[in-house]
Structure 1
């Protein structure tokens, strides 16, 4: 039985990882109406990206290269550059999500759900209009799921950052730890639309722990890519919405979550 559970967890993790890396990107590219939230925020976010990346190379690159000269040897310059780019991407994600693209990501998530015939689910969090494409149908938001600032996430990032000084293995551990947090966070909107309590969310996340970790690792790694991270933030959101729609259409809510829902009633 234990082997069967492990096998199912691995299969789900692989399926969700593919959904993040491939399905989300391909679905986004093939549905032009989903481009609208991205294009509406493109110019200010690119300006922010250039500014943060320039600042980080002026301030952080040389000190980190000096430290890595002891751990990475002759490739210290390259390793330090990659680390600085990673740090820049993280700061870009933090500030852009907080001040520039929060509503755009919600629109992308909800629009993707509409495209997968999950209208009833979306109506739990906003008004849905009758005509137009999937983005044009989105009306006024009733609920907004994302916090304006997430200090805990930033603190964890800083605490885990020294792992990158360990060649190869350290970076993998760093991404895994970040992915464990980022996976469940990608479904914040879904949990809100479902109106689940904290206990129901925790039960669902535990039931799909392998999938969420794989999703989070893939999404976090993609969003570490400089300048392309903005696009991947949106394609990852599409991937998360596709997964949510899959859960809805296949009624895969765990028995434990359903039990908690009945108790709440």
Structure 2
């Protein structure tokens, strides 16, 4: 009899503790949910800003403008024509080798994640891998000088000689390509180990059906737009990239998608360089940024950097 009140008290104490723990867990869950909603809102707002900036800048149109401009200016064809043979051999060798030796093992992995879609996602993955290998080899050893001549030749054709003079000598003449002289500073960097590591690090995104492949291309595309300001200093490019991430990514996304097309990658590599030069020339000529705000000219910015 005397133990009964003690047992009742223990039950009441246990119930009270349980209720307290339940309320504590509820507060933690509410806090986590609130934080998650806050993060989602911030990411959504950031993404909306990037999309808005990209839409206003119309940067995604410049790779297409590059195709039209390249097709109508025969003088810009010379660097491309001089590299067609070696590049075609490289492309056929890489793409064929990748499909022969890597399709089956990669399909075996992707089918676990993508199911029937693995047939298509494996093809996209291999094309992406092949494109990266081809670009890495060709841009480093085969096309770098030709792409630079095309980029600078387009700037000269658009009357932006002052941009080109910051990195190479110019000769008198009417033909844009014939005016190009000795290169004093190349704006293009060789394929760096850092870029290769970044590529490998994000490669598993392709295991996610469709969306993962799109995200992978988006990540790879972000840095492509930096070619637009290839003749700026590293600090200047970095500052502009921070302010204009949306336009850069929009340009890079379209450019990257075009260069993923098998056997046409070389052509689009050159037309993308033309598009980048057209964009740089427009920014210099109009003196405006990519989102319609005031921006310094290349020359003024260079003076400030000094």
Query: Highest Rg: 1 or 2?
Result: 2
Structure 2 SS opposite 1:60? helix
| Unaligned 5+ runs, structure 2 | 1-44, 290-294
Find the counterpart in structure 2 of residue 250 from structure 1: 286
TM-score (norm 1): 0.88
1:210 aligns with 2:246: yes
Find the counterpart in structure 2 of residue 70 from structure 1: 112
Deviant stretches of 4+, over 4 Å:
5-8, 257-265
In structure 2, C-alpha distance between the alignment counterparts of 1:115 and 1:62, rounded to whole Å: 48
Find the counterpart in structure 1 of residue 228 from structure 2: 187
Q: CA RMSD in A?
A: 2.6
Q: Which has the higher contact order (CA 8 A, sep 6+)?
A: 1
Structure 1 SS opposite 2:181? strand
Structure 1 SS opposite 2:166? coil
Are the structure 2 counterparts of residues 157 and 120 from structure 1 closer, same or farther at C-alpha, using a change threshold of 3 Å? same
| Unaligned 5+ runs, structure 1 | none
The question of whether the paired residues in 2 share the 8 Å contact of 1:12 and 1:210 is answered with: no
In structure 1, C-alpha distance between the alignment counterparts of 2:111 and 2:210, rounded to whole Å: 15
1:11 aligns with 2:33: no
In structure 1, C-alpha distance between the alignment counterparts of 2:268 and 2:184, rounded to whole Å: 26
**Can you list the C-alpha shifts for 1:226-262, whole angstroms capped at 9, x where unaligned?**
111111111110110000000110112636x999766
Question: Which deviates further from its counterpart, 131-140 or 208-217?
Answer: 131-140
1:139 aligns with 2:175: no
TM-score (norm 2): 0.76
In structure 1, C-alpha distance between the alignment counterparts of 2:151 and 2:257, rounded to whole Å: 20
Q: For 1:119-158, list aligned pairs within 5 A.
A: 119-158=161-200
The question of whether the paired residues in 2 share the 8 Å contact of 1:86 and 1:225 is answered with: no
Structure 2 SS opposite 1:93? helix
Find the counterpart in structure 2 of residue 34 from structure 1: 76
- The counterpart of 1:228, out of the listed 247, 260, 264, is 264
In structure 1, C-alpha distance between the alignment counterparts of 2:98 and 2:160, rounded to whole Å: 42
Are the structure 2 counterparts of residues 119 and 263 from structure 1 closer, same or farther at C-alpha, using a change threshold of 3 Å? closer
